[in-house]
Amino acid sequence: MECYLNRFIVQVQVKYKYSICFCYLNLQQITVMKANLILLLLVLSLYAAAQKSTLRKQVDAKADALQSQVVAWRRDFHEHPELGNHEVRTSGIIAKHLQSLGMEVQTGVATTGVVGILKGGKPGPVVALRADMDGLPVIERVDVPFASKVKTTYNGQEVGVMHACGHDSHMAILMAVAQILSSMKADLHGTVKFIFQPAEEGVEPGQKGGAEQMVKEGVLQNPKVDAIFGLHINSQTEVGKITYRPGGTMAGVNDMQIVVKGRSAHGAYPWSSVDPIVVSAQIINGLQTIVSRNINITENPAVVTVGAIKGGNRSNIIPETVEMLGTLRAFTPDDEKMLIEKVTTIATKTAEAQGATATVKIPYSNHYPVTFNNPELTQQMLPSLQLTAGAANVLLRPPVTGAEDFSFYQEKVPGLFIFLGGMPKGGDPVKAPSHHTPDFYIDESGFTLGVKALCNLTIDYMETKSR
């Protein structure tokens, strides 16, 4: 056995050019069998590290080779965006690509979702990777040859459609990841689920969709997912950088409706009314005290925003009712509960004090949980990100008060959601057009890093769980 080990060590040293350092072992105090076992474990550990290094080099080479194809996919999706639950052309392209890679492919999941299942050549965990597919009702102003000119009807109005949040890049990146990992499936320790999800931005009233619906339809089962990874391009983070945050990274969100009912009157005789417009103004002012006087902002931020007010139709008529719509955002269940209770109390009691009534509905039409990065998983995978992008380019970020329905997956399985730089190098984050705007712009040179990051997260997680 000792001769075999010596030959094996020399072979590994020559092949991978690694040197082996052994701690001093008092072999007189242990048996030869135990010594050989220790040597064998060390050699196997070295062999596993060398194998992982080889796979990482393969990922780098394959991702670099696919760069132009990823850009081409992204531009095609960008030029032909589709709103949530209407991603028919988009999902067709994705399904065809996954089928060409020899995967088991499911279509029509949560209306237009696509799921590809890649079974590796070795036993191991099930890793899910997710990309969202939908565009937004925004008219594009960016002067690029592949700008969207698509128009459709949304909520009864004619609107433009634009990939104004980067979902086109998410799809293109994950398609490349699928191609690379498929070409390496013999070396994969486990199974990969590629989840292409519709309607991350929400759906029209009365419809169901998004991550919540995909979870309900069993996307995390058969086979059962052990961990899920996702990324989001960011137009205000420089290309070449990845940002992350353990724990609450994006806010949980509830929308709200407040309906104030008073008594209508002629505008010339306000004393005959119970004016719901005045009552609504007082409620709005009262809502501003929730964050300023109830949230410990040194620990977690929160947001209470009234985004729309509808009441009345003439200058000289005091209306009977006013409707307010808004959004609540928090990073912990306790803060979320407190926001809901405070909004309800302030609205109903303020109205009551003025002789009116207020009806509060929270959530009114949608609720996203906190996007919560599992702390243990985040810590475990941080070295993988640092090796991929360089430690100086992997940065801890503050909480984001925007929301993501990736959170529905994270409620069921450990998940890690990271942000990928998409702002041109040297750009000013303050001046860079933000997401959900007509001028939203992404530097395509950052896509390759996203491809490498998702590939390496998958491979490294599998290797760790298969030891």
Is 165 annotated to bind ligand?
yes
189 among annotated binding-site residues: no
Which residue in this structure is represented by tokens 């940065």? 395
Residues 51 and 218: their CA atoms lie apart, in Å, by 34
Q: Which residue among 200, 226, 443, 460 is the active-site one?
A: 200
With 0-12 / 13-18 / 19 or more C-beta atoms within 10 angstroms meaning exposed / middle / buried, residue 405 is buried
- Tell me the helix, strand and coil percentages in the chain, rounded to 5: 40, 25, 35
The torsion region of residue 27 among left (phi > 0), alpha (psi -120 to 50) and beta comes to: alpha
- 134 catalytic, yes or no? yes
Provide the pLDDT for residue 340: 98
Q: How many Cα neighbours within 13 Å face the side chain of 51?
A: 16
CA distance 42 to 153: 63
* Cα–Cα distance list, 146 to 140, 280, 320, 428, 434 (Å): 11, 45, 49, 24, 19
Among 87, 132, 134, 335, the active-site one is 134
- Ordered by where they begin, the domains of the chain are 52-250+370-466 (3.40.630.10), 252-367 (3.30.70.360)
311 phi/psi in degrees, rounded to 5 = -170, 130
Check the annotation: does 436 bind a ligand.
Answer: yes
In this structure, what token pair is assigned to residue 91? Answer: 């999902």
Whose tokens are 């990841």? That residue is 177
Closest CA to 409 of 165, 241, 118, 193: 193
Known catalytic residue at 463? no
207: amino acid identity, one letter? Q
Q: Amino acid identity of 424?
A: P
Is 232 annotated to bind a ligand? Reply is yes
**Which tokens sit at 121?**
């050549």
Q: Per-residue DSSP letters for 298-322?
A: TT---EEEEEEEE--SSTTEE-SEE
Query: For residues 135 and 152, what is the distance between their CA atoms, to the nearest angstrom?
Result: 12
As a whole number of angstroms, the distance between CA 197 and CA 223 comes to 18
Question: pLDDT under 70 in the chain at which residues?
Answer: 1-52
User: Residue 360 is which amino acid?
Assistant: V
